Amino acid sequence: MSGEPDGPQDRLRRFATIWSRAVFPVTSTSSTRTEFEAELLPLARRLSKVLRARSFDAEEARAVGAALVDAHCTDPEALSQTLDCVDAYLVLYCGEGGDPEDLRARSARLQHAMAAGFAGALRARTLAEQEAIAQAALKAQGVVAEALHASEARFRAVFEGAAIGIGIADLDGNILQVNQALMRMFGIADPALGGRRAMEWTHPDDAPQVWRLYQELVRGEREHYHVEKAFYRPDGTVLWTNLTVSLLRDADGTPQYQLALMEDTTERRLLNLRLRYEATHDALTGLPNRSFFFERLEKALNAGPGQRFGLCYLDLDGFKAVNDSLGHAAGDRLLVEVADRLQACATAPGEMVARLGGDEFVALTTGPDTRHEVDELAGRIMNALLSPVSVDGRELTVRGSIGIVEGPAGERSPAEVLRSADITMYRAKSAGGNRFELADPEADARVITRHGLTTALPAALERGEFFIEYQPLVHLGDGSVRGAEALVRWLHPQHGVLGPDRFIPLAEHTGLIVPLGRWVLEQSVLQARLWRERYGEGGAAGPLRINVNLSPCQLTHPGLVQDTVEILERTGVAPDALCLEVTESALIGADDDLLKPLRRLAEMGVDIALDDFGTGYSNLANLRRLPVSVLKLDRSFTQSMQQFPADPVDLKIVEGIVALAHSLDLAVTVEGVETGAQAEQLRILGCDTAQGWYYARPGPPERLHELALVDATG
């Protein structure tokens, strides 16, 4: 079987194969394709290192670009193919384990540096070639007149065969002769250029020194000059060239002719412009991207005395729910609309808006008085988000949390500023979102960074730093404990106990959620067996059941069904003692493939609960399609029942949902019950089970024993 997963070396080799296939047809190498691939492999290895290195090594990327020229990839098409290939495959094959957003930004910078290295090497090579031709011409200069009449075979051969354009003119600028390559560049069929004058070839982009150098040359004051120059072709299009002009003297040293050697750089120039744009702008929204923003921030922070900067770091609230429930296309449209609105907020000189990735944006303002300006900027941004965004005929409410950092230039590095902004944004988010907060250096110092947590996660699982608390699920009819929800926590060696909201998203991002989720499932099922052993199978309320949360990534993981079956069998716990909780947003819009594993589990008797119901944008009619048997009403419904009397509209909504759920044979559990009044209200509305601080906070498994015991005896 070749089912072994590929190692990094295999993937690197595959990247080199794809690369060589794309480029080989446009090279002028004499190697075979396989030999050529072997030449590319070390280059691929170097690219892969640049991609993953801690800090970006532009020099190395440039060197790889230059090495391409040495490998006979001198055609602009070879560069273009290379960049396409790097863009599409490098991160895929060589980016293992990195943050996708960072890798993509890194790949864009890498491409840009490669292109620059390629262009530089090509220019050097052309100059060398031009130099050789000029040398040949100079050697022949005593016989230049004859050369023009085809008597100097060596010069003639160079002249006709050269890949670069060559033209000869007299000192008045009358063009005497041009070669085939030059005619091709200008798109002309016959050498009728003869008779035209060099002076007519002006172009608005000519640098001022171009014609000064020309005059010096024809006056005999300089031997040659080198410029980048544009020409109009007869059809009106523009030709960019690297132009070298040399003076040819006769045997007595009297200036006689001028010799122009030109290399067509039009395509490379366009490619460079495109690359510069692509390397600095976000493809989806067209906003400046992370690396462009860093450049600008760096400039602002180096601006000198008296200058300040103000930064708003915006993260949309609840964007993930939109993406999960309406799909990525809708999420993308939302981001584009938000980007447009943000751009309109920062139009003054010294202001800019950029997208850092995902749903994170920044707005920057610079100048002497940013203290006041940054507040206004944040206000404008909050205002811009007020009106809903219409996507696919739905009106989506957009909210955002903003972290503001303001200060004098010259004190902090871009990374420090961004870190502080990120922490402050999180503070705004934890305070409920839809607000802005100002950075506070003392708070910054206390904060645990996402990055720090992310890197500590894998070892934490190995070291057994996770533990599970259980929160009872109580029957609203008779108040008996029916089961418990398993809620994972992390006992961090420095930061103490961290709740799942702190680390589950990070674990999802890095893939650690799969082993972590499996561990939670196993521990919880073992716990359920312990409860069963203690209370037997047949209490008044039946055996205690266990609810375990599943992340969206676990749903798509191929081992889900098998792992679950294996754990249940090994522990001897019946499937109907287990309920898996899946958030609403992960299931809405799910296709049959995604639902298949859940359906299989449901058929075995495992209950599936739709968690946090009411927070996504779900379509109630859709519920019928899903293999769920329990609805867990989100805490927000319960919260709105806190005041007395509760809002009658809210009550009606809950009543409606309960009726619908029951008509679909779904049980209803409510979350976040904090008072007896709420519990009573929810019971009247027909909810089946409840969970919340009113009954018990999540706690160690022994606590549940006590509760259930009280329940059974009292």
Which of the listed partners (ligand C2E, Mg ion, none) does 499 bind, with a CB threshold of 5 to 8 Å by partner kind? ligand C2E
Q: Does 691 bind Mg ion (CB under 5 A)?
A: no
- Using CB under 5 A, pick the residue from 584, 612, 688, 711 that binds Mg ion: 612
Residues 476-515 that bind Mg ion (CB under 5 A): none
Q: How is 382-432 classified by DSSP, letter by letter?
A: HHHTTSPEEETTEEE--EEEEEEEEEETTSS-HHHHHHHHHHHHHHHHHTT
280 binds Mg ion (CB under 5 A): no
Distance between CA 681 and CA 674 in Å, rounded?
Answer: 12
Binding mask 665-694 for ligand C2E (x = CB under 6 A): ------xxxx----------------xxx-
Is residue 607 part of the contact set for Mg ion (CB under 5 A)?
no
What is the widest separation between alpha-carbon atoms in the chain? Answer: 123
Q: Which of ligand C2E, Mg ion, none sits in contact with 471, Cβ below 5 to 8 A by type? A: ligand C2E
469 touching Mg ion, by CB under 5 A: no
Q: Which is nearer to Mg ion, 437 or 612 (CB)?
A: 612
String marking each residue 651-690 x if it binds Mg ion according to CB under 5 A: --------------------x-------------------
Per CB under 5 A, 611 contacts Mg ion: yes
End-to-end CA distance of the chain: 61
Residue 501 interacts with ligand C2E (CB under 6 A): yes or no: yes
Q: Residue 524, interface with Mg ion (CB under 5 A)?
A: no
Is there binding between residue 607 and ligand C2E (CB under 6 A)?
Answer: no
> Of 267 and 674, which CB lies nearer to ligand C2E in the complex structure?
674
In whole angstroms, what is the distance from residue 239 CA to residue 269 CA? 10
Question: Residue 141 or 678: which CB sits closer to ligand C2E?
Answer: 678
Using alpha carbons only, what angle is made at residue 168 by residues 164 and 171, rounded to the nearest 5 degrees? Answer: 140
Q: Could you give the angle at the alpha carbon of 511 between the alpha carbons of 13 and 318, nearest 5°?
A: 125
Cα separations (Å) of 74 from 18, 29, 118, 363? 19, 10, 8, 41
The reply to whether 422 sits near Mg ion by the rule CB under 5 A is no
Query: Does 520 interact with ligand C2E (rule: CB under 6 A)?
Result: yes
Residue keyed to tokens 């990839």: 73
* Separation of alpha carbons 523 and 209, rounded Å: 78
Q: Which stretch binds Mg ion (CB under 5 A): 202-210, 523-531, 548-556, 683-691?
A: 548-556
> Segment 544-573, which members bind ligand C2E (CB under 6 A)?
549-551
* Angstrom distances, CA of residue 325 to CA of 169, 550, 585, 588: 70, 16, 5, 5
What is the spatial order of strands in the sheet that 175-178 belongs to?
175-178, 165-170, 255-264, 238-249, 224-232
CB 628 within 8 A of CB 599: no
Token pair belonging to 707: 């509760």
Nearer to Mg ion, 39 or 611 (CB): 611
Nearer to Mg ion, 114 or 606 (CB): 606
Token digits of residue 290: 């992370």
The answer to whether 696 and 484 have CB atoms below 8 angstroms apart is no
CA neighbours within 13 Å on the CB side: how many for 477? 6
- One of 527, 549, 615, 691 touching Mg ion (CB under 5 A): 549
- Closest approach of Cβ 449 to ligand C2E, in Å? 20
Q: How far is the CB of 692 from Mg ion (least distance, A)?
A: 11
Binder of ligand C2E out of 39, 263, 422, 612 (CB under 6 A): 612
The C-alpha atoms of residue 229 and residue 377 are separated, in whole angstroms, by 43
Site for Mg ion contains 584 (CB under 5 A): no
Q: Is 616 in the site for ligand C2E (CB under 6 A)?
A: no
* Residues found near Mg ion in the complex (CB under 5 A): 549, 581, 611-612, 671
* Residues found near ligand C2E in the complex (CB under 6 A): 471, 487-488, 499-501, 504, 517, 520, 549-551, 581, 611-612, 635, 671-674, 691-693, 698
